[in-house]
């Protein structure tokens, strides 16, 4: 997928004017955002679990080479194969070769952000192999030829009516907007595809070093049918998904679903270890794990290492005021919301995504809700510094920031300048109490008035309040 992140502002403006999108995004607040709050309240040890989750991921990252080698050894012991992919092209080639060796015409897929990251569907289609998405949201966006707009709910940007229209056109059945009937239609189509597929491709939420297992969580059971019915199963996952033990996985699972959707646990948690064994009634004959680096080892030891703790729960976007107004497609690449604003510049280059770290009010809500305590605002700040250093912002903004930086390093001069500015603004705005337009503040005044300051700086008001305290 070609990044279009530089168009964030215009896409966000279009998103704000799209009533369907605004209706769909409104559901996140009352659904997942509220669900997380209630789930956390019901679990007294939730904050403690978050600390443990952070520590598990930090430990795994600090010993990544050890756990990856242990994972590979256990997969081989179980009769599976491990393929190491340095980048997206290598991962695509490996998956294609596995599919071709199985003479695959159709592959079923359960939701995998790594498959999105490497553009797997387009590649397989170009090679004459038909990928079929089996997650309901992914199935919907595949029909619409769109990328996902959310980590957990890829089609969360659509209303029920839009899905009803789509299914009427695609399935050729009488229109219905009954959710149960809509799901039933998708199920009927997909059941056939499961039976036709030669290869099943899944992602993995966690890879377990002590057993060589891959764990998936879904609410639809589609990953289970994807990995269990075809004769070949391919797991495609990035390196940082490896954690030491099954016990660690269950600690992480306890915070994952609660943070994502407010569920105590996802409906299906599946542990996949190796291919079908003698005596097993079902299961794939081949079990492949494709381990993708794609720049992640370069993040180890860098100021962005914390980002590798991400367990893709989506809580940061569910609680981000910018995401909730602009939606996922405005971010212009695979990863969206606050986590996408950190990861996208990493993967596609800051030159192609420098708008994203600015798509934040720095309210800090994303960090507050992240189950593995990733300091997202800090990481976005690092990218803003890079943006400034590489001169990627307009010269007026650079000059403004340069002037502000000069003053900020000279407190006495800063206080004098702000006192003067507040005094002038206070006098100019005294009559109307607000400004409809103001130089350097067009971003604010384009859609609302700027309240006129009372004529004193924040510091002056603060000092006066301190003095008048009893
Ligand atoms: S950054 Fe944190 S909150 Fe956001 S998806 Fe990753 S784990 Fe979840």
Does residue 201 contact residue 259 with C-beta atoms inside 8 Å? no
Å from CA of 339 to ligand 1 middle: 6
236 with 99, same domain: the answer is yes
**Predicted pLDDT at 267:** 93
- Please indicate, yes or no, if residue 36 is contained in any of the structural domains: no
Residue 456: domain span: 413-467
307 CA: nearest ligand 1 atom = 1
Å from CA of 364 to ligand 1 middle: 13
- What is the average pLDDT value for the chain, to the nearest integer? 95
**Predicted pLDDT at 401:** 87
Q: Whose CA is nearest to atom 2 of ligand 1?
A: 370
Instruction: Give the pLDDT band of residue 287 (cuts 50, 70, 90).
Output: very high
- Please indicate, yes or no, if residue 263 is contained in any of the structural domains: yes
**Predicted pLDDT at 436:** 92
**Predicted pLDDT at 431:** 86
- Please indicate, yes or no, if residue 151 is contained in any of the structural domains: yes
Output helix, strand, coil percentages for the chain, rounded to the nearest 5: 55, 10, 35
**Predicted pLDDT at 295:** 96
217 with 328, same domain: the answer is no
Is residue 269 pLDDT above 90, yes or no?
yes
**Predicted pLDDT at 430:** 87
- Please indicate, yes or no, if residue 321 is contained in any of the structural domains: yes
Is residue 366 pLDDT above 90, yes or no?
yes
Instruction: Give the pLDDT band of residue 469 (cuts 50, 70, 90).
Output: confident
**Predicted pLDDT at 137:** 96
295-302 average pLDDT score: 97
310: Cβ below 6 Å to ligand 1?
yes
In tens, the pLDDT along 70-90 reads 999 999 999 999 999 999 999
287 with 367, same domain: the answer is no
253: Cβ below 6 Å to ligand 1?
no
**Predicted pLDDT at 394:** 87
377 with 420, same domain: the answer is no
375: Cβ below 6 Å to ligand 1?
no
Tokens of 253: 């699972």
Instruction: Give the pLDDT band of residue 470 (cuts 50, 70, 90).
Output: confident
**Predicted pLDDT at 442:** 83
- Please indicate, yes or no, if residue 38 is contained in any of the structural domains: no
60 with 23, same domain: the answer is no
324 with 289, same domain: the answer is no
Q: Whose CA is nearest to atom 8 of ligand 1?
A: 313
Percent of the residues in the chain that have a pLDDT greater than 70, as a whole number: 100
Instruction: Give the pLDDT band of residue 329 (cuts 50, 70, 90).
Output: very high
**Predicted pLDDT at 1:** 87
Is residue 379 pLDDT above 80, yes or no?
yes
The structural domain count of the chain equals 3
Among 252, 267, 298, give the residue marking a domain's end.
298
- Please indicate, yes or no, if residue 146 is contained in any of the structural domains: yes
Percent of the residues in the chain that have a pLDDT greater than 90, as a whole number: 91
114 with 202, same domain: the answer is yes
Closest CA to 97 of 74, 78, 124: 124
Å from CA of 60 to ligand 1 middle: 17
In tens, the pLDDT along 213-237 reads 999 999 999 999 999 999 999 999 9
Instruction: Give the pLDDT band of residue 397 (cuts 50, 70, 90).
Output: confident
113: Cβ below 6 Å to ligand 1?
no
Instruction: Give the pLDDT band of residue 440 (cuts 50, 70, 90).
Output: confident
**Predicted pLDDT at 441:** 83
In tens, the pLDDT along 158-192 reads 999 999 999 999 999 999 999 999 999 999 999 99
Query: 153, 243, 307, 313: which to mutate for ligand 1, most atoms within 8 A of CB?
Result: 313
255: Cβ below 6 Å to ligand 1?
no
370 with 249, same domain: the answer is no
**Predicted pLDDT at 372:** 98
Does residue 334 contact residue 88 with C-beta atoms inside 8 Å? no
Instruction: Give the pLDDT band of residue 396 (cuts 50, 70, 90).
Output: confident
Question: Cα(29)–Cα(35) distance, rounded to whole angstroms?
Answer: 9
**What is the rounded (10 degree) CA torsion for 106, 110, 113, 114?**
-50
261 with 177, same domain: the answer is yes
160 with 135, same domain: the answer is yes
- What sign does the dihedral 47-51-52-57 (CA atoms) show? positive
Is residue 444 pLDDT above 90, yes or no?
no
DSSP state of 62: H
Which of 207-211, 314-318, 415-419 comes out lowest in average pLDDT?
415-419
The domain that holds 184 is classified in CATH as 3.40.50.10420
**Predicted pLDDT at 454:** 86
**Predicted pLDDT at 443:** 79
312 CA: nearest ligand 1 atom = 5
Å from CA of 111 to ligand 1 middle: 17
Å from CA of 158 to ligand 1 middle: 22
Å from CA of 335 to ligand 1 middle: 11
**Predicted pLDDT at 72:** 98
311: Cβ below 6 Å to ligand 1?
yes
Closest CA to 147 of 175, 120, 179: 120
77 with 214, same domain: the answer is yes
163 with 268, same domain: the answer is yes
Could you please report the per-residue DSSP string of 400-454?
A: HHHHHHHHHT-HHHHHHHHHHHHHHHHHHHTTTSEES--TT-HHHHTTSPEEPP-
**Predicted pLDDT at 191:** 92
- Please indicate, yes or no, if residue 282 is contained in any of the structural domains: yes
Å from CA of 156 to ligand 1 middle: 17
315: Cβ below 6 Å to ligand 1?
yes
- Please indicate, yes or no, if residue 406 is contained in any of the structural domains: no
339: Cβ below 6 Å to ligand 1?
yes
Does residue 8 contact residue 323 with C-beta atoms inside 8 Å? no
């Amino acid at each position: 997928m070609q990044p279009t992140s530089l168009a964030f502002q215009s896409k966000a403006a279009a998103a704000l004017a799209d009533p369907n999108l605004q209706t769909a995004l409104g559901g996140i607040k009352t659904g997942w955002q509220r669900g997380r709050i209630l789930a956390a309240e019901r679990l007294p040890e939730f904050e403690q679990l978050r600390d443990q989750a952070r520590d598990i991921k930090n430990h795994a990252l600090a010993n990544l080479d050890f756990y990856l080698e242990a994972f590979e050894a256990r997969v081989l012991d179980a009769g599976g194969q491990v393929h190491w992919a340095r980048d997206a092209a290598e991962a695509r080639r490996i998956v294609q070769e596995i599919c071709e060796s199985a003479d695959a015409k159709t592959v079923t897929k359960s939701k995998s952000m790594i498959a999105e990251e490497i553009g797997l569907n387009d590649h397989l289609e170009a090679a004459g192999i038909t990928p079929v998405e089996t997650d309901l949201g992914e199935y919907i966006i595949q029909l619409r030829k769109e990328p996902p707009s959310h980590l957990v709910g890829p089609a969360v940007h659509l209303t029920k009516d839009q899905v009803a229209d789509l299914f009427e056109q695609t399935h050729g059945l009488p229109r219905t907007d009954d959710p149960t009937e809509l799901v039933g239609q998708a199920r009927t189509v997909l059941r056939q595809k499961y039976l036709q597929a030669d290869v099943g491709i899944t992602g993995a939420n966690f890879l377990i070093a002590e057993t060589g297992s891959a764990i998936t969580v879904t609410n639809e059971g589609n990953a289970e049918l994807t990995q269990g019915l075809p004769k070949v199963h391919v797991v495609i996952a990035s390196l940082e998904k490896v954690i030491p033990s099954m016990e660690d996985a269950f600690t992480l699972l306890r915070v994952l679903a609660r943070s994502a959707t407010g569920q105590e646990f996802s409906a299906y948690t599946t542990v996949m270890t190796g291919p079908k064994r003698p005596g097993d009634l079902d299961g794939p004959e081949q079990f492949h794990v494709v381990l993708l680096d794609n720049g992640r080892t370069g993040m180890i030891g860098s100021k962005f290492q914390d980002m590798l703790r991400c367990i893709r729960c989506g809580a940061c976007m569910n609680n981000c005021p910018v995401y909730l107004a602009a939606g996922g497609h405005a971010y212009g690449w695979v990863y969206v919301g606050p986590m996408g604003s950190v990861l996208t510049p990493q993967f596609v280059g800051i030159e192609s995504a420098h708008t994203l770290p600015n798509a934040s009010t720095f309210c800090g809500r994303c960090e507050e809700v992240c189950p593995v305590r990733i300091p997202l605002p800090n990481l976005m700040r690092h990218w803003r510094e890079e943006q400034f250093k590489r001169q990627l912002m307009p010269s007026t903004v650079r000059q403004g920031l340069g002037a502000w930086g000069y003053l900020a390093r000279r407190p006495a001069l800063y206080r004098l300048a702000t006192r003067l500015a507040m005094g002038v603004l206070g006098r100019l705005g005294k009559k109307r109490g607000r400004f409809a337009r103001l130089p350097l503040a067009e971003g604010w005044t384009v859609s609302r008035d700027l309240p006129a300051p009372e004529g004193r700086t924040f510091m002056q008001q603060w000092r006066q309040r301190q003095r008048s305290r009893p």
